[in-house]
Structure 1
């Protein structure tokens, strides 16, 4: 029987992002973790242990654990590259797939247990070649052999064996770097100083709510922090059919399901549209079962796209996917294109 999500499912420890004491064991482990990653950075300091696939490599990632909006940005990046005449491909580790799953190509029909939820979503939204492999160098090489002339690495800042030309750090605009401590005492995979070496810093500001991201470019010039808004407006029935505007759910109670790094961001987005949310937070990359949706009341169920790709086997007329699109200032795309050309 599948366990129901608890109130804290999918949530980071309180001391990561709130004013709460950090347990002693977490501080001790954080010190050990810091020494390990420092050694790893030293081993790759001169680039001789890294391999380059021979085409431009763009890495989209973050230095914090959990979701910051990397997947929407990756989708937007791939779509923009295609519009500019490139043939991009996406290399991913495929977090959340079965541990025994082998390297493979991912398309819209791939079992998410074999391909991973985020790679499956990227493939379905963009139609580009997506390769999942624990070895991102091997994934990049496979993409180049398949005809890709740009490799986009989804969530790969810490995978130093893959040499890269451009690094894009994605930052959660609400939570930022939390308490500034390394795992597990805090949310950081690497010290904050590591972020300074990235070429671009994209600040996820959350729901667009009708705003123009270009009006908030502010620090954009000079590769500062570029604002990114997540735009949503429709609910897509999982059984097929005409999309419904999210505004049609305003004033109604709905079950909201999110198994992402920061479920509260999704719930807040729906509340901002006047929807009465009954929240159900699951752990990131949760493997959904039909029993997870036995909520005891027949209300519409709104879920993220990342969750929806794992629910095809038990979808009903009550289930909807809420797609989001990343919107950034046009100046960001111009600066990125110029940087690619320089490579």
Structure 2
């Protein structure tokens, strides 16, 4: 299987001018996005809801921004507050995307999707994948959930929501600020102003702060978990060593940079987001340790060896964020 990574066009983030065809297509796309939003706002396309609060976590740019760690943290915090949260997801990249499915820790990621399986493994919450997120939300409520957390559903307007959380990549932000395909945006940047909460993912060791009206999120990355099982070890165990680093996420370089910040000499191996791994993908010709993200690890478990490790990322947000979110939730 090819290891070639599908890179976004350079002009999305490097400041260069997009080609004319991309700009023309972006104008057409902008019209389609605005028309669809207008049809929902006017009630010409029907929304549906459930009789429990719905929290949507999403982003505006194509590719990852740190939604999954936030969803995991959100589920854990809601449970600590006495709630019974469930997670609705499309399960991007599933082999049988048309089929609705309950996902648990043992679900094959090819059927359930890598991110839903990861969420189920980390939280133990009920997770439902369905192209129709409204149907997924209804299934979760019927199963006893009193809060629905919708993973990556900001543009899924058919599902009525009570709270929206936009997650912003603190390093890339909105790129050149243009819509697809001239830029990375799925909706205009102003759409973020409609969200009750805007969370900026500042990564693990990146310098920076959230702007006005934004909440900062840091990712704690401090341990490595053997894929074959056993106790985790501190990430500093690999300081001063060369390792193979594997990342099939929206921004692999962020993962590689995090490892380098811990003094690890990285041999990088970037794959396309949601890449379906096979054993040959992890054969690199040298017997170095292999560190990978958790999202990659759930797909590599069947052929993992003793030198394969996942590196969990735990979202940490200010206590004031959780107080504000739970307060809004209590008034719904």
TM-score w.r.t. length of structure 2: 0.97
What residue number does 2:270 align with?
A: 281
Out of 12, 17, 21, the position equivalent to 2:8 is 12
CA 1:10 to 1:269, structure 2 compared with 1: closer, same or farther past 3 Å? farther
What residue number does 1:309 align with?
A: 298
Out of 110, 114, 122, the position equivalent to 2:111 is 114
Structure 1 outlier segments of 4+, above 6 Å: none
1:231-275 superposed Cα distances (whole Å, 9 cap, x missing partner): 011110001122111101011110000000111110010000110
Determine if contact 1:253/1:275 at 8 Å carries over to the other structure.
yes
Cα offset for 1:28? Answer: 1.6
Out of 317, 322, 326, the position equivalent to 1:328 is 317
Cα offset for 1:127? Answer: 0.4
Out of 29, 33, 37, the position equivalent to 1:37 is 33
Number of corresponding residues: 331
Alignment RMSD (CA, Å): 1.5
What residue number does 2:140 align with?
A: 143
What residue number does 2:239 align with?
A: 250
Alignment partners' CA distance in 2, 1:266 and 1:148: 33
CA 1:325 to 1:102, structure 2 compared with 1: closer, same or farther past 3 Å? same
Determine if contact 1:10/1:281 at 8 Å carries over to the other structure.
no
What residue number does 2:2 align with?
A: 3
Cα offset for 1:11? Answer: 3.0
TM-score w.r.t. length of structure 1: 0.94
Determine if contact 1:90/1:129 at 8 Å carries over to the other structure.
yes
Equivalent residue runs for 1:165-244 within 5 Å: 165-208=162-205, 219=212, 224-244=213-233
CA 1:100 to 1:87, structure 2 compared with 1: closer, same or farther past 3 Å? closer
What residue number does 1:26 align with?
A: 22
Determine if contact 2:178/2:185 at 8 Å carries over to the other structure.
yes
The reply on whether 1:77 has 2:74 as its aligned counterpart is yes
